[in-house]
């Protein structure tokens, strides 16, 4: 079983993650991790913070000669802007952010004490750990990709870029929808025997926990609500070369909480960023007077970046499910178990 703990503030010294449960014997290429971190920082509509930070991962434990030891892996991404102690107080909560709810929950008098950890800067840890999990999944020919489907209701690349440009001009922000595809997952990851072991439930939790994600579909998703069962359930076929298979994939690769061998398809909605350079109405927490919401250095649109984070979050869930099914100590033993299982079900 994989266990993950992250720490760090947006303008603190670093973002840190500790991953426990990665098997011994996995060869790690640090540049693959840094490539994923760079992808998280890219995309039209990103703000000036991305021009300051050049995220690079440092692996501080759990490896020898870039090969995992089976012990906890510590990943660190240093912040170039580590000015948390010098930054001004924030007194006017931003609508849509954790600002007000966090302030009231923890009893703070400065919203910065909320936003520094609630910031999506923490997703650097998610992506770094997800890159490690992708390296493991690649050993079993499981591949995870993503694509942006729409931004602000526009579906074509020129339309999406125009929508982001319009938001920049108006000092506004804009959200959108992205899709994650997981290819190569074998039949049998996850379980129906307990709710917390269902693969779809774990993936849903992982993606919804990404800052700004407000909705999720698996496969046909909401399309099931307007269809007859005879129109949407994926019929089952069999042939000697293929074994069992489906001609359609409305289930999105998961049935009864278990992967069914088809591509796993996830779609998520990323809301517009909460920090507006033309801010909305708010209240000053000191004097309770009407005020404009605080402004922080921020982005205009992060749909493409959110998709990269979702790939990483999905990779963690898939890697955990793989280790639960096939063992977790040594990569060689896991590969043997995997091959024997595929032989049994073929």
pLDDT level of residue 171 (50, 70, 90 thresholds) = very high
Kindly tell me if the per-residue pLDDT of 188 is higher than 90: yes
Residue 195 has what pLDDT? 97
Q: Using 50, 70 and 90 to split pLDDT, how confident is the model at 47?
A: low
Delineate the domains of the chain, giving CATH numbers in brackets. Answer: 92-345 (3.60.150.10)
8 pLDDT above the threshold of 90: yes
Q: Give me the chain's average pLDDT, please.
A: 95
Asked if pLDDT for residue 52 goes beyond 80, the answer is no
Q: pLDDT at residue 49 above 70?
A: no
Q: What is the pLDDT of residue 27?
A: 98
Residue pointed to by tokens 């890219």: 42
pLDDT in tens, 135-152: 999 999 999 999 999 999
pLDDT at 5 over 90: yes
Predicted TM-score (pTM) of the model is 0.95
Cα separation values, 255 from 56, 190, 296, Å: 38, 10, 43
- How much is the average pLDDT of 76-103? 94
Q: Could you read off the pLDDT of 95-112 as tens digits, one per residue?
A: 999 999 999 999 999 999
Closest CA to 301 of 75, 47, 112, 85: 47
Q: Residue 296: what pLDDT?
A: 84
Which of 110, 97, 58 shows the shortest CA–CA distance to 79? 58
pLDDT recorded at residue 51: 60
15-31: pLDDT as tens digits: 999 999 999 999 999 99
- What's residue 242's pLDDT? 86
Task: Give the pLDDT confidence score for residue 175 in this predicted structure.
Answer: 97
pLDDT in tens, 191-248: 999 999 999 999 999 999 999 999 999 999 999 999 999 999 999 999 988 889 999 9
Contacts of 11 (CB under 8 A, 6+ apart): 79, 81, 82, 83, 84, 87, 116
Q: What is the mean pLDDT of residues 4-14?
A: 96
pLDDT in the model for residue 328: 80
């Amino acid at each position: 079983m994989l266990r993950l703990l992250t720490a760090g503030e947006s303008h603190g010294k670093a973002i840190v993650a500790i991953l426990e449960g990665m098997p011994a014997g996995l060869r790690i290429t640090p540049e693959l991790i840094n490539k994923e971190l760079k992808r998280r920082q890219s995309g039209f509509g990103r703000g000036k913070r991305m021009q300051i930070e050049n995220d690079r991962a440092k692996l501080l434990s759990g490896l020898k000669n870039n090969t995992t030891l089976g012990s906890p892996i510590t990943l660190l991404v240093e912040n170039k802007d580590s000015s948390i102690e010098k930054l001004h107080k924030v007194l006017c909560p931003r609508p849509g952010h954790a600002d007000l709810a966090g302030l009231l929950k923890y009893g703070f008098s400065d919203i910065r004490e909320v936003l520094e950890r609630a910031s999506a800067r923490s997703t650097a840890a998610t992506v770094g750990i997800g890159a490690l999990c992708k390296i493991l999944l690649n050993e079993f020919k499981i591949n995870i990709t993503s694509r942006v489907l729409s931004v602000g209701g526009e579906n074509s690349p020129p339309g999406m870029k125009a929508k982001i440009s319009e938001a920049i001009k108006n000092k506004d922000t804009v959200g959108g929808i992205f899709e994650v595809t997981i290819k190569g997952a074998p039949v049998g990851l996850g379980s129906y025997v307990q709710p917390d072991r269902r693969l779809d439930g774990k993936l849903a939790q992982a993606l919804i926990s990404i800052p700004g994600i407000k909705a999720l579909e698996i496969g046909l998703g909401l399309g099931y609500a307007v269809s007859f069962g005879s129109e949407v359930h994926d019929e089952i076929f069999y042939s000697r070369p293929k074994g069992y298979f489906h001609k359609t994939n409305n289930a999105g690769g998961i049935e009864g909480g278990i992967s069914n061998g088809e591509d796993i398809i996830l779609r998520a909605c990323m809301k517009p960023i909460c920090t507006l350079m033309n801010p909305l109405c708010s209240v000053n927490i000191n004097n309770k007077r009407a005020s404009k919401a605080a402004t922080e250095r921020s982005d205009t649109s992060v749909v493409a970046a959110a998709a990269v984070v979702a790939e990483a979050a999905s990779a963690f869930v898939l890697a955990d499910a793989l280790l639960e099914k096939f063992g977790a100590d040594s990569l060689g033993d896991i590969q043997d178990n995997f091959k024997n299982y595929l032989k049994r079900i073929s």
